[in-house]
Amino acid sequence: MSKLKKFGTMGTVGALVTGGFFLGTSPAANAATCRAGTATPTNSLSGSVLISTSFENNSLRPFVPTTAGTGTATVSNSRVRSGLCSIKLHATADAGSMANMALNLSTGTKRVNADAWVNITAAGVAGNNVPYVRFFSGSTRVADVYRYNDTGQLWLRVTNPNGTFTYTRLKSSSIPLGTWHRIQMEVTASGSSSAVRVWFDGVLAYSSAVTLRATSLSKVQFGAEHFRQKGDQYIDDVVIKKVS
């Protein structure tokens, strides 16, 4: 059985082990050489900034990484959009492998947008995908954008109130592996009055009213929450905003 590890900020040095979870500071966070003091990214999307980071503080904070098995979430110098550092998420097809990082949102948050540069360098198995960004309400993934492994195309998936999914192809051509792309996505969770907007490389790819069961959002996530969802990706220059 693999051990699921959640790394977060803690007020004490060391680690707390409870119920099979490992909680602490990621030991790999100090492996990279970053450029402290680098200006943080900005954008023109509306809202109050929850986070703006290029990870030049050599830390994933305030994102909370979750890894298991052969999955890793680390600060890296290997591929960057700006500065010297980015985050690498690595998951394999091995049983129990998982890697993601999430920003938890305050209770009652209804509308949030996320802006990030993502470089997917390794795809996964056929019929699966590598996510760009995902929005959750509780344990339910309400909307996400991903690169489909079979074709390399960009897709939007929205979870309907009955648990089924609505899929929309956002880009018909294949997105080359190893290339940086800017994903911007805004989700409004308000039941039958919900909405989703997606921009890819600065171009509006989707804007529509949708119907969700959710009336609030709980987190924004990079990487997959499923075991064995193989894929490697680098994430840089992230801005997440809450819209009143």
For residue range 91-134, list pLDDT tens digits in order: 999 999 999 999 999 999 999 999 999 999 999 999 999 999 99
What domain range includes position 59?
A: 22-242
In the predicted structure, residue 6 carries a pLDDT above the cut 60:
no
Give me the number of domains the chain comprises.
1
Residue 9 lies in a domain: no
Here the CATH number for the domain that contains residue 164 is 2.60.120.200
- Listed in sequence order, the residues at least 6 apart from 235 whose beta carbon sits closer than 8 Å to its beta carbon are 86, 87, 89, 101, 116, 117, 118, 119, 222
Query: Regarding predicted confidence, which is higher, 185 or 15?
Result: 185
Residue 171 lies in a domain: yes
State pLDDT tens for residues 132-150.
999 999 999 999 999 999 9
Give the tokens for residue 192.
Answer: 């039958």
Q: Let me know: does 149 contact 126? Beta carbons within 8 Å.
A: yes
- Listed in sequence order, the residues at least 6 apart from 237 whose beta carbon sits closer than 8 Å to its beta carbon are 41, 53, 54, 81, 82, 115, 116, 117
Residue 68 lies in a domain: yes
User: What per-residue string of b and e applies to 130-163 under the rule 16 or more CB within 10 Å gives b?
Assistant: bbbbbbbbeeebbbbbbbbbeebbbbbbbbeeee
Residue 11 lies in a domain: no
pTM over 0.85: yes
Residue 14 lies in a domain: no
Residue 120 lies in a domain: yes
Q: Could you tell me how far CA 157 lies from the centroid of its own chain?
A: 14
Q: Let me know: does 170 contact 156? Beta carbons within 8 Å.
A: yes
Residue 15 lies in a domain: no
What pLDDT is recorded for position 30?
Answer: 53
Most distant CA pair in the chain, distance: 49
Residue 6 lies in a domain: no
